[in-house]
Chains A and B, each alone.
Chain A
Amino acid sequence: MANQHATPEGNHLTHVVSTRTLLGVFAGLIVLTVVTVLAAGMASGAWEVWISMGIASAKAFLVAAYFMHLRYDNPFHTLLLVSALAFVFLFLGLTLADADAYQPAIDAYLKRQP
């Protein structure tokens, strides 16, 4: 039988995440969801989007580190994800900078319209 290598709490091919960790991460994710809804209720103006993105990133970190095993995995997989995110930030940053650079011209044009 191919499955003879299973021991009650271990696997010789990979690290097995304990049920305690799984449930703890799930509880953390639910708490953070409640926190982000409550934080959005107390509207905080310009900071709002940064707070909610910070909380979302904390949740994404929990999912990636534990549910996706990155904490126990080959670090090269983390490097792949981080490099993808680096390019996402380049994409986002350069596009926003470009859009903002042209916004005054658009506003001035729209202002001239009757």
Chain B
Amino acid sequence: MATSAEHGHGSHLAHHFESPQQQLAAGKLGMWIFLVTEVLFFSGLFVAYAVYRSAHPEMFADAHRYLSTTLGALNTIVLLLSSLTMAWAVRCAQLNQQRGLLICLGVTLACAGMFLGVKAVEYSAKWQEGLLWAGAFSPHEGAAHVSLISAPLFILSIPALLLVVVGAGGLAAARAWKWKQASATSATLLATGIAFCLGAVLATGVSSLKAHPTAGNQQPTAQHAGDEQATARRSETENPAGSSINYTGINYTGVFFSIYYAMTGVHALHILGGMAVIAWLIWTAAGGRYGAEYFNPVDYVGLYWHLVDVVWIYLFPLLYLIH
């Protein structure tokens, strides 16, 4: 402790580091090594996808009709915006812009909430349509109607509704007690819960405007509605020299959805983890911990958040843009 005082360093320099430069370099190196393990972790899912797509290309083309490109593109833009504000938050911390730092982190967290709101509508609509993983995959006809009032969507929205309640209550209490740090944090939690609901409303609106946007110009709904024998017969007539579906009539679309849920689910878990850490950043930033001399945690969390964004950049065309 004495040495850091002698060197004129702030209290942020851990005693085992020589200088803030060394501390930052070591932290970033550690973060990049973690990101390398994340890349390799996600690569397992991407390899499963590639093997299955190369073996059953026709089932991937079939499955894409169940996914809304509009919602995927909307979520891509929301996540790109959150990446921009995260990078901007790092800049604000480096330049000691306390207000900008809080605003940027708040927008990043709210965008993450909105992303999950859109995702919740997608998941709950698929649940209602029977578009589940292999083994439970049984699409029903006419279930394409997407509604805000649905049990699965309500269940998925419970954490966001709790966030609204906790955020609003915390904000009221913190303002009454004039506790700035708590009121800034509660306000962002409230905004994040509201952003989730906004995303859900927006996604529901988009889906009801054009449920299954591409279904019309491909096959009548009855034919891709999961009757396995019909699918097999259709493939035989359309594609006599084609691949495995011709011989057995097995509907592999459920396997596509297994991969879909594994990839988007693991990605969504990373978003949730990132949101927890960003909420902690907001709490500490509101307490004035970061500035030009010590912005390290903001920088590290930013690196993680951008990696999660990059994973989505690849997931979007692989899952939503197959034709």
Q: Contacts A13-B21, A95-B50 given: A33-B294 contact, CB under 8 Å?
A: no
Q: Contacts A56-B313, A99-B54 given: A88-B292 contact, CB under 8 Å?
A: no
Find chain A residues with CB under 8 A from B73 CB. 33, 37
| 0 or 1 for each of B81-99: is its CB under 8 Å from A? (1 = yes) | 1011011101100111000
* B323 contacts A60, C-beta separation under 8 Å: no
Find chain A residues with CB under 8 A from B29 CB. 74, 76-77
How many residues of A are in contact with the other chain, CB < 8 A?
64
How distant is B189 from chain A, measured CB to nearest CB, in Å? 25
A43 interface neighbour in B46, B316, B318, B323, Cβ under 8 Å? B323
Q: Which of the candidate stretches B33-41, B119-127, B163-171, B279-287 sits at the interface with the other chain?
A: B33-41
Find chain A residues with CB under 8 A from B25 CB. 74
How many residues of B are in contact with the other chain, CB < 8 A?
64
How distant is A25 from chain B, measured CB to nearest CB, in Å? 8
* A3 contacts B313, C-beta separation under 8 Å: no
How distant is A39 from chain B, measured CB to nearest CB, in Å? 8
In whole angstroms, how far apart are the Cα atoms of A31 and B320 in the complex?
18
A53 interface neighbour in B33, B95, B294, B317, Cβ under 8 Å? B317
Q: Which of the candidate stretches B195-203, B221-229, B303-311 sits at the interface with the other chain?
A: B303-311
* A11 contacts B313, C-beta separation under 8 Å: no
Find chain A residues with CB under 8 A from B181 CB. none
Find chain B residues with CB under 8 A from A56 CB. 313-314, 316-317
* B86 contacts A36, C-beta separation under 8 Å: no
* B293 contacts A68, C-beta separation under 8 Å: no
Is the CB of B47 closer than 8 A to any CB of chain A?
Answer: yes
* A16 contacts B95, C-beta separation under 8 Å: yes
* A59 contacts B39, C-beta separation under 8 Å: no
How distant is B166 from chain A, measured CB to nearest CB, in Å? 31
Find chain A residues with CB under 8 A from B12 CB. 2
How distant is A37 from chain B, measured CB to nearest CB, in Å? 6
In whole angstroms, how far apart are the Cα atoms of A48 and B91 in the complex?
37
A-contacting residues of B (Cβ < 8 Å)? 10-12, 20-21, 24-25, 28-29, 32-33, 35-36, 39-40, 43-44, 46-47, 50-51, 53-55, 69, 73, 76-77, 80-81, 83-84, 86-88, 90-91, 94-96, 243-244, 247-248, 291-295, 299, 302-303, 306-307, 309-310, 313-314, 316-318, 321-323
A67-B87, A87-B43, A95-B50 known; 18 new pairs, CB 8 Å cut-off, are A2-B10, A12-B292, A22-B87, A26-B84, A33-B316, A36-B317, A37-B321, A52-B321, A56-B314, A56-B317, A68-B302, A74-B25, A77-B28, A80-B32, A84-B35, A95-B51, A107-B247, A110-B247
